[in-house]
Chains A and B, each alone.
Chain A
Amino acid sequence: MATRKKVLLKVIILGDSGVGKTSLMNQYVNKKFTNQYKATIGADFLTKEVMVDDRLVTMQIWDTAGQERFQSLGVAFYRGADCCVLVHDVTAPTSFKSLDSWRDEFLIQASPRDPDNFPFVLLGNKVDLENRAVPQKRAMQWAASKNNMPYFETSAKEGINVEQAFQTIAKNALAQETEVDIYNEFPDHITINPDSRNVRNDNCSC
């Protein structure tokens, strides 16, 4: 079966600088956390094999630079992504505000086949901290308004919800991937010889 081949899912994590994109990825893949902040330069990825609905898939998780000065990722980087993970810091309202532009940026750059149904997942990180500023309700409202994207409140530090969130990410990414497969089974387009059509048009009496 065509869909039973080895699957590689490309997942891209986006969000403002310092919201914990790298930490989330590290927590998920390596089960490690450090309080030290180190800015990501460009992009970096880790892979992890996961079981989704009895299928073994390889997740390639791309961690990106949140700081503008390190962003030089072109169209090619975003192309072929299967899922996009948006991250904000629940103690930083500006990071929540930026979500819209991260999402737009991604859609423009990746230009997915079906932008309306492309899988996004929203993560509100750092819920372990006391000084929370983005209410859960507000984040949920936003996620709901964007085609009901799943929302998880996570803590990369405590490992809260990280596993669940990435499981959902893998699942949604896989759904997207299989959909693309279906698309690919059809040829790109059927070329009708324009000349022959013209001839028919001419002959047609209507």
Chain B
Amino acid sequence: MTTLTTSASATSLESSNKLVCSSGNNVYEMCGLISGLPLHIECMTGYDDFVIVGSKEGHLLIYKITFRNQAKLHADIEITLSNKNFTTAIGTTATRKSVIQLDVIPEHKILIALTTEGISTHDLSMYHCKCISSIDGTKGASIFALNIQRQMSLTGGPSITVRMCVAINRSLQFYYWKNRSFFPLRDDLAIPDCPRALAWCKEVIVLGFKNEYCEIDMLSGKQKDVCSRSSKYGEPIITPVSPTEYAAVNDKHCFLFKLTNKSEVKKSQQEATEEKNMKEKNPVITWTEHPISLVYDEPYFIGVLGGFGMEVRTYKPKLKIDLFNIAQAKLACSPKSGFIYVASHDSLWALKSTPVVAQMDLFVKQNHFELALGLANIWKEVPSEKQKKITQIKNLFAFYLFCNRKYKEAMTIFMELGTDASHVIGLYPGLLPQEFRLQIDYPGVVPELRGVDIDGAMANLIMFLTNSRTVLLGNSSQTVTESASIVEGATIIKSKKQLLQIIDTTLLKCYLQSKESLVASLLRLKDNHCHIDETERALIKHKKFNELIILYQTKGNHRKALETLLKQNDTDGVIEYLQKLGREEMDLILEFAKYIFEENPEKGLKIFTEDLQEVDQLSRPRVFDFISKNFPRSKIGYLEHIINVWDEKNSLFHNALVNEYLDKYMEETEPSLKTKFLETLRLFLQKSQYYSPEIVLVHFPYECMFEERAMVLERMGRHDQVLAIYVTVLKDPRKAMEYCKMIYEKSDVSKKEVFSVLMKMLLSGPTPVSLPGLSLELSPHVSDIPSVMMLLKDYAPYLDPIQVLSCLPDEVQLSDIQKFLMTSVQNRLSEKRKYLIQKGLIKAEFLRASGEKSGVEAERFYLDESTPCAMCNKKIASQNAFVRYPDGFVLHFHCQPGEVTLDENLMDQ
């Protein structure tokens, strides 16, 4: 056992390395570590800061490498182990064996080596990396693969599960790690060929054969072909990318495969999508030359191209990032993110990634935003800072997309980020006020939107704006804190109100340009924040007057709305507007109604008569007052509407209408119209139940309209006056009789006498009180005997014969009133008979009731001290009044519910 000293060679190499590094994107810095080892490096692995190298001669070297941050990358190399007899302890013979493959379980400090004697395990922490054991039955193994699953245990500590798959000829062996040794996991699996490459992802073993790649399900043993490969170009290579993805190399191409999870995907869907996704799922990286070793260091693939140096590439998007001209390189490994070690047969190099932020900035500069965002995954930074950076990149990305006319994608990102809406709006021409727009910085020149682009761009802006306002309105706080600017650190709008104002005003302008019919909808929204002046200007510019009215309306500026409508001579518009204002805006309604009335009273009336709830609820007295003061001609129309259509019951309006009809009748000279009004008046007097006759009567003329006067008097119950009019003024006794018949009612004292009153009137003329104030020249009264006779004949049953006889004049012949007397006598007789029968019936009823009463009185019952009241459950004491119901319940007198009937139920004990 000897230790090599290589410090001299390490320093000498540094200078020569500068030439090797090509000028590309500086995502990795390279430096040489060791060169000219007197050994043949066969395999290499690493963990933490250590690189472990195995040689063909059976030598094991472990270096600890620390990097120093200087202007140039500089590495300190410390040899922690150099054991040339590493392999002598393995197997039965104490000879040196070639080390074929090495791997490490860092957590357990265990090194696993594959030599010609098979798999052996070594303790890294022990002197000379002492062999712990070798696994029997693995002699002749060609390759092995580890599967290390790191989990948090229930107690919070990390726990790891280590499994190993070993390929021996045409079979696979499986082991798991426990208590510092490997135990068989399951039966061996037979495979068709001897694998050249091996990887273990989840429960799937991926095998690389000479001519093809295939997957084997570790649990079921089912084999699935992945793809064939051409055997011409080197050995198969499989590199795990993530727990469920791996890359496989064929010729110059590198394919990415994803493990399909059978249980999750339904069969029918799977079939349909599988083929479609095939291309997407397996993006190809094409190297300049076929790689002999492949390392994935998120997000880069590093391919060692035999004899052509090394290439760094990405697959999303497909880019060649960097190139290192290490022609001799043949092996590469990446023990931890950002560090790659490369080996030739006698030298070692290291690639260390530049700071992630620098890389991100680099790609942002090159417009490879997706790549920059991917890098954020591996960036070790406090989440808040990281988020800030991601947001910034995404904003730039969205801006880039916008510039490249990918409006939808751009807006989706802005939406997701909650980018300050004003900044987004500023990307579009003519939407922001000029001075405001100039204050906003953009990362580049904002492209001018032209032609067909505008529609698409606008539609996406609308989507962005509607989404933003929904989000903002859903947010209860008054200030906006989370929004970001496109350029880092630019001023953003903090006030929610201001932001909403900008959003809504812009939305309106967008609609004006592309979806005009939505302008009105937006303005009508209760929570629209459109900037009044700006919106006003825009609407006027587009001649959107209807929408302008809506704006004024929603902002409560009704006067301005009405003035605009008037200016446009839109009478119907004004009317419609006034109809919707409601009772709170009464003053305004009346003010503008004046204009309409002056122009067209009929239309004006519509303001107050439209069948709308708002109109219905206007204060009718005020409206009537307004109309009668200013436009008396429209009074009737209004009154008729509210009474006939809206069933107005207020007598004020009914009186007014009667007066209106009266006036109309009086004023009218055209006979046909005159009779028409008279007719309407009569109809109304008959129909209306709500006018006050006393008040109406005052307005009636004394020289005409007697019949109508009679109608009013009838309503007042002044039947004698009515009759006086019929008899003396109209001289129509027949009508008077008909009236009497209509009015007569036996039970009502005031109506019972009407016929007698009429008869007296016919005989002797009306008393002075019956015709107050009628300025009519009345001829002296002559008894109208024929009418009296007719009355007596036709209405005998309604007249009292005694009264009749007493007032009939002497000259009337008895024979003339024979019929009346006979009818009267018959009536009396039949009445008498009726009463007799009634009397008999009542007597019978009385007898029956008395019998019943004595039956009830004969009933007896007992009460003692323990009899409780059915209501309050207390005893009924001796001096208490009580009630007994027919069904036997006994209550205190004061306990009985409802009305009290004393006499029947009260008894003393």
Q: Which A positions have Cβ atoms within 8 angstroms of B?
A: 72, 74-76, 93, 100-101, 103-105, 107-109, 111, 115-116, 137-138, 188-192, 194
CB neighbours (8 Å) of A192 from chain B are: 451-452
CB neighbours (8 Å) of B877 from chain A are: none
B517's partner among A116, A189, A190 (CB-CB below 8 A) is A116
Interface string of B390-429 (1 = CB under 8 A from A): 0000000000000000000000000000000000000000
CB neighbours (8 Å) of A76 from chain B are: 467
The answer to whether residues A111 and B466 also contact, given A101-B525, A101-B526, A104-B524 and a CB cut-off of 8 A, is: yes
CB neighbours (8 Å) of A104 from chain B are: 520-522, 524-525
The answer to whether residues A115 and B515 also contact, given A109-B466, A189-B452, A189-B456 and a CB cut-off of 8 A, is: yes
Asked if residues A194 and B451 are in contact (CB atoms below 8 Å), the reply is: yes
In Å, the complex CA distance between A101 and B612 comes to 18
Interface residue B685 (Cβ < 8 Å from any Cβ of A): no
The answer to whether residues A111 and B463 also contact, given A93-B613, A189-B452, A189-B456 and a CB cut-off of 8 A, is: yes
In Å, the complex CA distance between A105 and B522 comes to 8
CB neighbours (8 Å) of A115 from chain B are: 515, 517-518, 521
CB neighbours (8 Å) of B524 from chain A are: 100-101, 104
Asked if residues A189 and B455 are in contact (CB atoms below 8 Å), the reply is: yes
Minimal beta-carbon separation of B310 from chain A (angstroms): 41
Can you name 10 extra interface pairs (CB under 8 A) apart from A104-B525, A108-B507? Answer: A72-B474, A74-B470, A76-B467, A93-B613, A108-B521, A108-B525, A109-B466, A111-B515, A115-B518, A194-B451
In Å, the complex CA distance between A192 and B452 comes to 9
CB neighbours (8 Å) of A105 from chain B are: 525
Interface residue B618 (Cβ < 8 Å from any Cβ of A): no
Interface string of B439-471 (1 = CB under 8 A from A): 000000000001110011001001100110011
Nearest CB to that of A93 among chain B residues?
A: B613
The answer to whether residues A75 and B467 also contact, given A111-B515, A115-B517 and a CB cut-off of 8 A, is: yes
In Å, the complex CA distance between A163 and B291 comes to 69
Asked if residues A107 and B470 are in contact (CB atoms below 8 Å), the reply is: no
Interface majority SS (helix, strand, loop, mixed), chain B: helix
Asked if residues A74 and B471 are in contact (CB atoms below 8 Å), the reply is: yes
Minimal beta-carbon separation of B584 from chain A (angstroms): 15
Scoring A100, A108, A137, A189 by chain B CB atoms within 10 A of each residue's CB, the highest score goes to A108
Minimal beta-carbon separation of B623 from chain A (angstroms): 21
Nearest CB to that of B452 among chain A residues?
A: A189
Minimal beta-carbon separation of B520 from chain A (angstroms): 8
**20 A-B pairs (CB sep. < 8 Å):** A74-B467, A74-B471, A75-B463, A93-B613, A100-B524, A103-B521, A105-B525, A107-B518, A108-B507, A109-B466, A109-B470, A111-B459, A111-B466, A111-B515, A115-B518, A116-B517, A137-B611, A138-B611, A138-B612, A138-B613
In Å, the complex CA distance between A1 and B507 comes to 39
Minimal beta-carbon separation of B666 from chain A (angstroms): 38
CB neighbours (8 Å) of A194 from chain B are: 450-451
Nearest CB to that of A101 among chain B residues?
A: B526
Interface string of B32-65 (1 = CB under 8 A from A): 0000000000000000000000000000000000
Asked if residues B522 and A108 are in contact (CB atoms below 8 Å), the reply is: yes
Q: How large is the interface on B (under 10, 10 to 19, 20 to 34, 35 or more residues)?
A: 20 to 34
CB neighbours (8 Å) of A191 from chain B are: 452
Minimal beta-carbon separation of B397 from chain A (angstroms): 21
Nearest CB to that of A71 among chain B residues?
A: B474
Asked if residues A190 and B522 are in contact (CB atoms below 8 Å), the reply is: no
CB neighbours (8 Å) of A109 from chain B are: 466, 470
Asked if residues A111 and B452 are in contact (CB atoms below 8 Å), the reply is: no
Nearest CB to that of A96 among chain B residues?
A: B613
Nearest CB to that of B448 among chain A residues?
A: A194
In Å, the complex CA distance between A134 and B367 comes to 61
CB neighbours (8 Å) of A111 from chain B are: 459, 462-463, 466, 515, 518
Nearest CB to that of B455 among chain A residues?
A: A189
| 3 smallest beta-carbon distances between A and B, as pairs | A104-B521, A75-B467, A189-B452
Minimal beta-carbon separation of B468 from chain A (angstroms): 9
Which chain B residues numbered 456 to 508 have a C-beta less than 8 Å away from chain A? 456, 459, 462-463, 466-467, 470-471, 474, 507
Asked if residues A190 and B452 are in contact (CB atoms below 8 Å), the reply is: yes
Nearest CB to that of A103 among chain B residues?
A: B521
Minimal beta-carbon separation of A195 from chain B (angstroms): 11
Minimal beta-carbon separation of B875 from chain A (angstroms): 49
B518's partner among A75, A93, A108, A190 (CB-CB below 8 A) is A108
CB neighbours (8 Å) of A189 from chain B are: 452, 455-456
In Å, the complex CA distance between A103 and B612 comes to 20
CB neighbours (8 Å) of B450 from chain A are: 194
Minimal beta-carbon separation of B659 from chain A (angstroms): 32
CB neighbours (8 Å) of B518 from chain A are: 107-108, 111, 115
Scoring A74, A75, A116, A138 by chain B CB atoms within 10 A of each residue's CB, the highest score goes to A75
Minimal beta-carbon separation of B391 from chain A (angstroms): 20
In Å, the complex CA distance between A189 and B455 comes to 10
In Å, the complex CA distance between A189 and B460 comes to 14
In Å, the complex CA distance between A109 and B521 comes to 11
In Å, the complex CA distance between A108 and B507 comes to 10
CB neighbours (8 Å) of A108 from chain B are: 466, 507, 518, 521-522, 525
In Å, the complex CA distance between A105 and B466 comes to 10
CB neighbours (8 Å) of A72 from chain B are: 474
CB neighbours (8 Å) of A74 from chain B are: 467, 470-471
Scoring A93, A137, A189 by chain B CB atoms within 10 A of each residue's CB, the highest score goes to A189
Asked if residues A75 and B466 are in contact (CB atoms below 8 Å), the reply is: yes
Minimal beta-carbon separation of A197 from chain B (angstroms): 8
Nearest CB to that of B405 among chain A residues?
A: A191
In Å, the complex CA distance between A141 and B122 comes to 90
CB neighbours (8 Å) of B522 from chain A are: 104, 108
Nearest CB to that of A115 among chain B residues?
A: B517
In Å, the complex CA distance between A166 and B459 comes to 31
CB neighbours (8 Å) of A116 from chain B are: 517
In Å, the complex CA distance between A140 and B351 comes to 78
Minimal beta-carbon separation of B469 from chain A (angstroms): 9
Which chain B residues numbered 609 to 667 have a C-beta less than 8 Å away from chain A? 611-613
Minimal beta-carbon separation of B164 from chain A (angstroms): 49
Minimal beta-carbon separation of B580 from chain A (angstroms): 11
Minimal beta-carbon separation of B497 from chain A (angstroms): 19
The answer to whether residues A188 and B456 also contact, given A107-B518, A108-B518 and a CB cut-off of 8 A, is: yes
In Å, the complex CA distance between A116 and B507 comes to 18
CB neighbours (8 Å) of B456 from chain A are: 188-189
In Å, the complex CA distance between A58 and B526 comes to 35
Minimal beta-carbon separation of B94 from chain A (angstroms): 73
Which chain B residues numbered 542 to 575 have a C-beta less than 8 Å away from chain A? none
CB neighbours (8 Å) of B471 from chain A are: 74
In Å, the complex CA distance between A93 and B456 comes to 41
Nearest CB to that of B526 among chain A residues?
A: A101
CB neighbours (8 Å) of B507 from chain A are: 108
CB neighbours (8 Å) of A138 from chain B are: 611-613
Nearest CB to that of A100 among chain B residues?
A: B524
Asked if residues B470 and A75 are in contact (CB atoms below 8 Å), the reply is: yes
CB neighbours (8 Å) of A190 from chain B are: 452
CB neighbours (8 Å) of A101 from chain B are: 524-526
Which chain B residues numbered 288 to 311 have a C-beta less than 8 Å away from chain A? none
Nearest CB to that of A117 among chain B residues?
A: B517
Scoring B456, B507, B525 by chain A CB atoms within 10 A of each residue's CB, the highest score goes to B525
CB neighbours (8 Å) of B612 from chain A are: 138
Interface string of B10-32 (1 = CB under 8 A from A): 00000000000000000000000
In Å, the complex CA distance between A75 and B464 comes to 9
In Å, the complex CA distance between A168 and B125 comes to 80
Minimal beta-carbon separation of B461 from chain A (angstroms): 11
Minimal beta-carbon separation of B872 from chain A (angstroms): 40
Nearest CB to that of B415 among chain A residues?
A: A75
Nearest CB to that of B468 among chain A residues?
A: A75
CB neighbours (8 Å) of B517 from chain A are: 115-116
Minimal beta-carbon separation of A103 from chain B (angstroms): 7
In Å, the complex CA distance between A173 and B863 comes to 82
CB neighbours (8 Å) of A137 from chain B are: 611
Minimal beta-carbon separation of B852 from chain A (angstroms): 46
